[in-house]
Amino acid sequence: MKILVVEDEKELSKSIVTYLKEINYVCEVAIDFDTAMSKIQLYDYDCILLDITLPDGSGLDIIRYLKAKNKMEGVLIISAKNSVDDRIEGLQLGADDYLPKPFHLPELSARVEAIIRRKNFGGNTVICFNEISIDTIAKVAYFSDSPLELTKKEYQLLLYLIANKERVISKNAIAEHLWGDEMDMANNYDFIYTHIKNLRKKLMEKGTADYLRSVYGMGYKFTDR
């Protein structure tokens, strides 16, 4: 999977690239409008992470160009502006998703994964992790073809963990993913633990290995290693 990161903040793009590379994405970086345009004209990408405010142009123009050329790239806007208008304009122009800064990297990768999955029409809408498979259209998770009885939150959690497999995900990132940032519960993450515990229990009851590891004090990790 090839991803273009258009972001003028070098440190941020470096973090994004480091994180995404670990999940086996191929990443390229463009730090300004011109570089981004020339890269888009030369190569095809599966997904473009696009900052709207670039030093020499607007990210919205890049989306317009993509749509004019009928390019199939998925576009995820990452913007510091987070204004309703920008979001609406971006999505109306044809961007696939909008992620306001500051975001958690696991959130970003989950969104990228979702975009790529959706863009792959007719392709694979099923995500697999060893014997666990998730039908993202029916929103059902299976363990070796037998469906897992998961609640909505547990399903979302599993999807999120698998999209960030082998990575440590902080409790903060999980809380934000599951409940959004509007629920200002000020670092009270006890309720995450309940969901993790239940999900792990349900997986283990079906006979999976203990993939869901708790990383001391920090968060959780979905891994078979």
Partner 1 sequence: MKLLSKYSRVHIITACTILLISSFAYYFIIRTILLKQIDKDLKVEEQEILDYVVANKILPHASDYKHQQIRFQKIKSSVAFRSTVNTMEYDAKLKEYEPYRRLSFPVRINNETYEASVYKSQVETEDLLQLIMLITAVLFIVLLSLIFIINRFVLGKLWQPFFNTLLQLKKFDLQSMQPLILTKSSIEEFEELNRSVTQMTDKVRKEFEILKTFTDNASHEMQTPLAIIRSKLDLLIQSSFETQVEQLQAIYNATGRLTKLNQTLLLLAKIDNNQYQKPEVVSLKTLLESKFQQFDELIKGKHLTLKYDLQEVCISINKDLVELLLNNLLSNAIKHNYQRGSIECILTAEKFLIANPGPALSFDSANIFDRFKKGSNSDGSGLGLAVVKQICDASNLPVSYFLLNDKHVFQISLAGKIR
Residues at the contact surface with partner 1, assessed by CB under 8 A = 9, 11-12, 15-16, 18-19, 22, 80-85, 100-106, 153, 167-168, 170, 172-173, 179, 181-188, 190-191, 194, 215-219
| Least distance (Å) between residue 15 CB and partner 1 | 3
- The whole-angstrom separation of Cα 102 and Cα 91 is 19
Nearer to partner 1, 66 or 112 (CB): 112
| Least distance (Å) between residue 102 CB and partner 1 | 4
Nearer to partner 1, 72 or 218 (CB): 218
Phi, psi of 146 (to 5 degrees): -100, 125
Least Cα distance to 75 among 54, 52, 53 occurs for 52
Nearer to partner 1, 109 or 133 (CB): 109
| Least distance (Å) between residue 170 CB and partner 1 | 6
| Least distance (Å) between residue 220 CB and partner 1 | 11
- The whole-angstrom separation of Cα 82 and Cα 101 is 8
Is the omega angle on the peptide bond into residue 106 within 30 degrees of 0, that is, cis? no
| Least distance (Å) between residue 183 CB and partner 1 | 6
Which secondary structure element, helix H or strand E, spans residue 26, and what is its range?
Answer: strand 26-30
| Least distance (Å) between residue 60 CB and partner 1 | 17
- The whole-angstrom separation of Cα 172 and Cα 185 is 11
Least Cα distance to 30 among 18, 21, 22, 39 occurs for 39
Nearer to partner 1, 64 or 101 (CB): 101
- Would you give the distance in Å from CA 170 to the centre of its chain? 15
Nearer to partner 1, 60 or 173 (CB): 173
Nearer to partner 1, 32 or 131 (CB): 32
Least Cα distance to 212 among 104, 132, 134 occurs for 132
